Structure 1
Amino acid sequence: MSSKNQKAAEARAKAQAQVRAQERRTTLMIIAGSVAGLAIFAAVVIFIVNQGKVPELGSDGATSPVASDSTGGIPVGTSGVVGVDVPTDAVRVDIYLDYMCPICGVFEDTNAADIDEMREAGDIQVYYHPISILDRYSNGTNYSTRSAAAAGVVANDAPEAFLDFSNALFANQPAENTDGLSDDEIEQIALDAGVPADVAGSLVNDDFKKWATAATQQASVDGMQGTPTVRISATGSFDDGLILNADSSSPSVDYFTDGNLKAYIESLG
């Protein structure tokens, strides 16, 4: 087995183990560890906000992609273009991802084709949430923030290329505890994904970095505990959504097994 395939297999096994652990929750250690991890994450976010370093999502200084909503979600419609032909009467699927997260890469490999099929058929409305919680794994280069911000720029200025660019970031995903991709490498990936040259040359944008941080803060407020996080609303309203595998009372779906997420969504119809 190649090194890349071995890493993918290891990440898939880790992801499936995490879902099983969430389903079982048979020991206080698991529960305590989860609560402690969430508390630490929340405390860090609150500290940053209190220091005035994180503008509120949608405020001046945190430029949002024009089609994004108040949750920070970037909608992609039936045509594959951000903000175009997004159904309002379909199941809503919110996907929270970090481009540095290897398990997010496994999630994409497992579910992207099914999500695209349902989205193109108008059976679901899909909102992508690029966030940045793994900057600490890129040796000080803040790759999670840089890549999320770049995705925001593409969603805003080249909405037809957002999905291809997002997919390409996962296809070229750097390993944790490396420097991540350089700004020049991200620009080249954007060009290869069909992003116009003028947009690809403007991906380094401080306002969109602030947006990525603000969107991460909003995600935590909305219940995101890590990546990937999947929130499903059968009614199509974000407020009615439930986060899968969040706790013992949440819908339990092993979305690291082919077809499981699609089957769950179809069961809501």
Structure 2
Amino acid sequence: MTIGGSGDGSPAKNRRRDAARVKAKQLRVSQKKKDRRNKVFLQGGIAIAAVAIVVLVSVIIMNSIKPAGPGPKNMASDGALIGEGMVTTLTPALQPDANPRPSKPDTTGAVANIRVYVDYLCPLCGDFEDANNKQIAQWVDSGAATVEIHPVAILTSKSAGTKYSLRAANATACVANYSPDDFFAFSSALFVDQPKETSPGRSDDEIKTVLRKSGVSTALSDINACIEDGTYESWVTAATNRALDGPIPNSSMESIIGTPTILVNGKPYTGSLEDPKEFASFVQVALGETYSTSTPTPDPTPGG
């Protein structure tokens, strides 16, 4: 008699085998459903994450782009005009959609109108400043000349990512707005120990140190906040573009092509930047000549 052979097909074993097959099939079906759910959840999670990233990037971009606002007071010509006694001419703020209001030059031949476009990271601007700042200050203080300083930010990308040119020009605009008669002193101080081109330049805190050392004391907290917030950076960018695009009012120049750009009674100075005697001679000659206005002065749009 053979007991328990491989061909044993008792009803009990068959039932257990069938039950196991059914259970296995149920498990396979359940696992497939679970896999499908996980796939849907994964795809949905990726989509949600992608949307979140897009929103985050958009917020960062929007926060980094300052909307165009009014320019600083006392720079309606895109520059600060300093006259006798080192007093800055007061003007209303330039509205975002308004054209600059060119300063009215003295055409009598009695006063030299000096205009300088400067970038505070520009080494050649530093050379001109070192050689000529003292005599220009003397001429202006005595009433023999006016000087109009136009801060521009051509070298914004040349400071290891810190945008020093833009931030320094913004700082001068802050001073013009809150303490205009300190503009010349602060602008001059930014050229003392001038940062090298391609260096990071000064931090905002270091700019504020220059501010204090230059003697600015009026509305110091407002100016510091203006520097930190970059209040006039959009205006600096617009003013820079206007200078590069032209025309340059009250002059024979179509546009500036670099810094420093120096004009005396509308005539560009192309002599040595480091020879104060040569520049003084040019000023004297320009005083005796007809004021150069070959380029028409644009009609100003009311700036509010």
Q: State TM-score, norm by structure 1.
A: 0.67
Q: Which AA in structure 2 matches 1:117?
A: Q
Query: Which of 80, 86, 109 does residue 74 from structure 1 map onto?
Result: 80
**RMSD after superposition:** 2.4
How many percent of aligned residue pairs carry the same amino acid?
Answer: 33
In 2: Cα distance, 1:255 partner to 1:175 partner: 18
Q: Residue in 1 aligned with 2:276?
A: 258
1:199 counterpart = 2:222: yes
In 1: Cα distance, 2:263 partner to 2:160 partner: 31
Q: Which AA in structure 2 matches 1:65?
A: P
Contact 2:113–2:264 (Cα < 8 Å) also in 1: yes
- The correspondence of residues 52-63 of structure 1 with structure 2, limited to 5 A, is 61-63=68-70
Cα distance, 1:66–1:268 mapped onto 2, change above 3 Å = same
In 2: Cα distance, 1:200 partner to 1:99 partner: 18
Query: Which of 147, 164, 168 does residue 143 from structure 1 map onto?
Result: 164
CA shift, 1:87, in A, is 9.1
In 2: Cα distance, 1:254 partner to 1:133 partner: 21
> Any idea what the Cα deviations from partners look like across 1:2-51, whole Å, max 9, x if unmatched?
xxxxxxxxxxxxxxxxxxxxxxxxxxxxxxxxxxxxxxxxxxxxxxxxxx
CA shift, 1:61, in A, is 2.5
1:267 counterpart = 2:285: yes
1:229 counterpart = 2:261: yes
Q: Residue in 1 aligned with 2:153?
A: 132
- The correspondence of residues 28-107 of structure 1 with structure 2, limited to 5 A, is 61-70=68-77, 72-83=78-89, 88-89=105-106, 90-107=111-128
The higher radius of gyration belongs to 2
Query: Which of 173, 183, 194 does residue 204 from structure 2 map onto?
Result: 183
In 1: Cα distance, 2:278 partner to 2:71 partner: 32
Q: Residue in 2 aligned with 1:9?
A: none
Contact 1:74–1:127 (Cα < 8 Å) also in 2: yes
In 1: Cα distance, 2:184 partner to 2:193 partner: 14
CA shift, 1:62, in A, is 4.0
Cα distance, 1:154–1:254 mapped onto 2, change above 3 Å = same
In 1: Cα distance, 2:269 partner to 2:229 partner: 33
Higher relative contact order (CA 8 A, sep 6+): 1
Structure 1: segments with no counterpart, 5+ residues: 1-53, 234-240, 246-252
CA shift, 1:88, in A, is 5.0
Structure 2: segments with no counterpart, 5+ residues: 1-64, 91-102, 249-254, 288-304
Matched positions, count: 197
In 2: Cα distance, 1:205 partner to 1:77 partner: 30
In 2: Cα distance, 1:96 partner to 1:88 partner: 16
In 1: Cα distance, 2:237 partner to 2:267 partner: 23
SS at match of 2:209: helix
